[in-house]
Amino acid sequence: MPIRYLHTMVRVKDLDKSIAFYELLGLKERRRTESEKGRFTLVFLCPPDQDDGTADVELTYNWDGDEGLPSDSRHFGHLAYSVPDIYAACQALMDAGVTINRPPRDGHMAFVRSPDNVSIELLQQGDAKEPAEPWASMPNTGHW
């Protein structure tokens, strides 16, 4: 049976805040659908060089609210993206007020959370970087 990956969907409570977070990661809005009848908005975001629909994240915003959000969302798992410089990516996120839940102590992997508690894994492209401060001694914050 042939299968093709389409997208990952996450529910969001504040669409603008969530879009801003994913833009910090480097994603861009590729497509938007609004349903007056269904009272929801779908926003599809992707990395700039993957705008063919093969790496979309679909943000689902329910106009009438979603009182269950933000929940722990650990049942969801995580989204994963590779970055050219794990330290620079984490520093840019921290500078924008994002908590680094699992710092890249190993020069290879970090975790952050979106405003809706979706866990995001960041992986160093290629080989891991040499451990460096402040990351090497930075403790975990919360969970991912």
Cα 25 to Cα 114: distance, rounded to the nearest angstrom: 10
- φ, ψ of residue 61 to 5 degrees: the values are -115, 120
- Considering only CA atoms, which of 70, 90, 88, 75 is closest in space to residue 14? 70
Cα 34 to Cα 43: distance, rounded to the nearest angstrom: 9
- Bridge partners (DSSP) of residue 112 are 100, 120
Cα 27 to Cα 5: distance, rounded to the nearest angstrom: 18
Q: Which residues are catalytic?
A: 121
